Structure 1
Amino acid sequence: MRKQFEAYRMYLIFSCLYALFYSLNSTVTMVYQVEILHLSPLQLVLTGTAFEASCFLSQVPTGIVADLYSRKLSVILGVGLTGLGFLIQGSIPSYPAVMASQVFLGIGSTFIDGALEAWIADEDRAKGLNTVYLRGAQFGQIGALAGILLSTVLGNLSLVLPILMGGGLMLTLCLFLALSMPEVHFHPAAPEELNSFQKIGFTLRSGIKIIRTKTVLLLLLCMALFTGLASEGYDRLNTDHFLNDTTLPRLGNLKPVTWFGIFGILVMLLSTLVMQFAVKRKKASSSLGSVEQLSLINFFYLLSMLLFGITRNFSLMLLSYLTINTLKALNRPILSALLTNQIDRSVRATVLSTNEQVNSLGEILGGPLIGLLAEKFSVGFGISATVIFLIPVSLLLLIIRNRELKNPAEQT
């Protein structure tokens, strides 16, 4: 008889393993694209555009699948598609193959986004979501740290090897989830008497209705758009910035990929420490506290992004890089909890997927623009230009904070 894990424990196990397998690929993939495939700044950004376009087109449909049929099935499909994407990228060293892999990765991520958060919110209602998401993020950091170490070692032998291994392990994770992931509290969002197409329409309309009637949700969706506009250029160009705009100190006979393993390890350690501090703070349990934390995170994120773009000094570049990535890791679970607490559980996956879709739209629009600036002027200039998109995020957080102060009874 198959053994299923308790939901909270399964959530932590999944967070750790998924991050481990994903980081096997992500630690080396940008170095692989720059050093082996020799992609230009614009090509690097366009790979991200392919990924985000796939996310944008599939977010709401995959969210509806999670709300109508099974959050567990949605997560399993997402992990499987992610594994296939890794295998395609690693087995065919060409730009078209990289673009094709991004389609699989994009669709795979949308099956997981929203569905995972909605699944644990339903299956374990005893714990506060802030604590659950932050603990999950911490376990994810631990898994990612192990993945970075392994990927760095393998990357010194071959940049392709960790990518292929990550793909194979993702497919193995699918089987483990099918046998061990519990789902006992799921109830379809639509009435049983409706047919499949009617259920899809019912769920989508319910999600849209909640978004339209909650001002805070609309403001958070606007934030997602501007965050997306700002993030894609940095995500795709920071490796190029390190490799071509500064001098990486030599580490004996080790390859440059070793530095990116070190960067990743430092980010993981810093993120874990900062998240532990956030978990212990009671302030994080309220909506107002979450908004104030997000405001502080965005302020330092903006300053660090500007510094990273304009400097060519290795030490300053490293300092700003570590700050940016640590703040990004902390931002996600706090924002997820704030957003989830605003949504009726029956349409959580759909609304969360809509939020991710809006973020993807921002990345689709912002990425090529930053890529063109980087191609015409410099990679550093392109990254610095993303700061323009972060200013509206601060303003939106200020508006949300003022609303929370005026309506304390609505705080979760």
Structure 2
Amino acid sequence: MITLFRRLRRPADAARTYYVFEAGFAGFNALAFTLIMVYQVQVVGLTPLQLVLVGTVMEATCFLGEIPTGVIADRYSRRLSVLIGLPIIGAAIILQGAVPEFAAILAAQVIWGIGWTFVSGANQAWITDEVGVEAVQPVLTRGHQLALGLSFAGTVLAGLLGLVSLQLPIIVGGIGFVIMAAVLALIMPEHNFTPDPDARAGTAWATLLGTFRSGLGQVRRRPLVRWFFVISLLFGLSSEAIDRLWTARILESFTLPSLFGRTEPALWFAAFAVIGSLISMISSIVVNRVAPGLVSGTRPGRVLALLVVIQAGGVAVLALSGHLWLAMGALWLKRAAGSIAYPIQATWLNRQLESRSRATVLSMNGQADAIGQVVGGPPLGALASLTSIPIALIGSAVIMSPAAALYLRLGGRRKQSLESS
């Protein structure tokens, strides 16, 4: 035991530590959230309006917290920001699973949102600095593939624990986040980040404002970064309705068949998540091996545009299909395309950013997505109530679609025009 502790205290290779982070985060996240909607409906008894409020409170918290927490990561330590965020996330998840009350669920969303904003942006900024901009793409891609694999395992475990109690996988997942924070505190290195010396010279608010201005300056100087914000906004406007309504679409429109002699929605939706994670993981591995040049290109606008079209088309088929497996296949295709796009888009954006305010700009980008979800979710939910869920899903696909044209436009610009206004 002493030998194991000594080994853990040695800082690990940055890339390997990033893999531990990505795999652990995805696994515990899948464990905690695979059956969360079933838990909120069947155990807590939330109404549709309360379900919407839960999502709105979470996204609003993320919106308010992204900038200050991103600035802290840039001014003081990306490592510290991650280590602060993970146990806060764990505590929020444990609260949500342990206290099945609406007030506790709302409080958990606020706590989770604060924890997430400490991690959001800081993890990518940290690994980019540690391995270098030119070497980060394979690390991001490999980390995402490992995340998909552990998400698969976490989903399976959630389904098994959910048969005992819907609260059990949520609480165990929250505990996992706290344990992961303790492990990373021992092994996570930070060698290539230099805190701004002015951070200690001025007041805290002056320090935060200075880094925010630096990040905002990058956005103003670089049109490509501004357009990435618009794309994030479009995806935010469309994603909240998709995430909240696809489960209701399946339950309302189709009769779930027997699975091992059982028809419980908890078992079926765990199975849906397992299949979806497996498809996304295989798709990412195949694309990166068969066509690595498409993924690692410096301006992969056409690839990302195609992936947007696939995602929008998948949502449309989910909305219109009258067959269960065609609808689920379309949803899995949409998610696989998103999994392939994530490391490509992240690498492209990171290449445009200066190290000293990278986490701040990435957090601002996350804020654009949060704004979209807060603004777009309730109207699309109201549209679903007044008309039907398929019409709201079609609306989401339409809102997402212009991102394809934006990616094509960005991919066609010359380098000089991307970096200066």
Q: TM-score, normalised by structure 1?
A: 0.94
Of residues 54, 61, 65, the one that matches 1:54 is 61
Conserved in 2, the CA contact under 8 Å of 1:62 and 1:111?
yes
1:263 aligns with 2:272: yes
Is 2:208 aligned against 1:200? yes
Matches within 5 A, 1:212-291: 212-251=220-259, 252-253=261-262, 255-280=264-289, 281-288=292-299, 290-291=300-301
- Between the aligned partners of 1:131 and 1:168, the Cα distance in structure 2 is 30
Asked whether the equivalents of residues 81 and 119 of structure 2 are also in contact (C-alpha less than 8 Å), the reply is: yes
Distance 2:207 2:197 in 1: 5
Distance across 2 between alignment mates of 1:351 and 1:390: 22
Matched, 1:66 2:77: no
- What does the per-residue CA deviation read over 1:317-347, in whole Å, with 9 as the maximum and x for residues that have no partner? 1111111221222222221111111101111
After alignment, is 249-258 or 297-306 more displaced?
249-258
Q: Return the match for 1:378 from 381, 388, 392.
A: 388
CA RMSD of aligned residues (A): 1.9
Aligned residue pairs: how many?
Answer: 408
Mean CA deviation greater in 223-232 or 129-138: 129-138
Q: How far 1:385 moved relative to its partner?
A: 1.5
Shift of 1:179: 1.2
The alpha-carbon deviation at position 272 of structure 1 amounts to: 1.5
Deviation at 1:192, TM superposition (A): 5.5
Of 10, 13, 38, the residue aligned with 1:6 is 13
The 5 Å alignment of 1:90-239 reads: 90-125=97-132, 128-189=135-196, 191=198, 194-195=201-202, 196-239=204-247
**Structure 2 CA distance for aligned equivalents of residues 117 and 83 of structure 1:** 20
Give the C-alpha shift of residue 77 in structure 1.
1.6
- Ranges in structure 1 where 5+ consecutive residues have no aligned partner: none
Match of 2:405 in 1: 395
- The one-letter code matched in structure 1 to 2:70 is G
Task: Check the 8 A contact 1:86/1:101 in 2, yes or no.
Answer: yes
When structure 1 is superposed on structure 2, of 101-110 and 21-30 the one drifting more is 101-110
1:21-48 deviation digits (Å, cap 9, x = unpaired): 1111111101212333343444323221
C-alpha separation between the residues in 2 aligned to 1:323 and 1:375? 26
Q: CA deviation at 1:395?
A: 2.3
Q: 1:26 to 1:276 in 2, by over 3 A?
A: same
Q: Give yes or no for the alignment of 1:353 onto 2:363.
A: yes
* Matches of 2:99 and 2:161, distance apart in 1: 18
Contact 2:381 2:392 in 1 (8 A): yes
TM-score by length of 2: 0.92
Is residue 45 from structure 1 mapped to residue 55 from structure 2 by the alignment?
no
1:66–1:115 contact (8 Å) kept in structure 2: yes
CA distance in structure 2 between the partners assigned to 1:202 and 1:253 by the alignment = 58
**CA deviation string 1:46-99 (max 9, x = no partner):** 221111101000001000010011111111121111111111111111222222
Compare 316-325 and 213-222 and name the one that shifted more.
316-325
Change (3 A) 1:214 1:13: same
Other-structure match for 2:342 = 332
What is the alpha-carbon distance in structure 2 between the residues aligned to residue 185 and residue 374 of structure 1? 49
Residue 296 of structure 2 contacts residue 344 of structure 2 at CA under 8 Å; is this kept in 1?
A: no
SS at match of 2:201: coil
Q: 1:32 to 1:312 in 2, by over 3 A?
A: farther
Contact 2:40 2:46 in 1 (8 A): yes
SS in 2 for 1:145: helix
Given that 1:41 and 1:375 are in contact with CA atoms closer than 8 Å, whether structure 2 keeps it comes out as no
Q: Distance in 2 between matches of 1:46 and 1:337?
A: 33
- d(CA) in 1 for partners of 2:233, 2:225: 13
Show structure 2 runs of 5+ residues with no match. 1-5
3-state SS in 2 of match to 1:386: helix
Name whichever of 186-195 and 136-145 sits farther off: 186-195
CA contact (8 A) 2:320 2:390 kept: yes
Alpha carbons of structure 1 residues 42 and 292: separation in structure 2 relative to 1, 3 Å = farther
Please, which of 24, 30, 46 is the counterpart of residue 17 of structure 1? 24
Contact 2:59 2:370 in 1 (8 A): yes
The range that moved more, 237-246 or 33-42, is 33-42
Greater alpha carbon shift after TM alignment, 171-180 vs 224-233:
171-180
Give 2:3's aligned residue.
Answer: none
Between the aligned partners of 1:193 and 1:48, the Cα distance in structure 2 is 37
Shift of 1:190: 5.8
- Look up the match of 1:32: 39
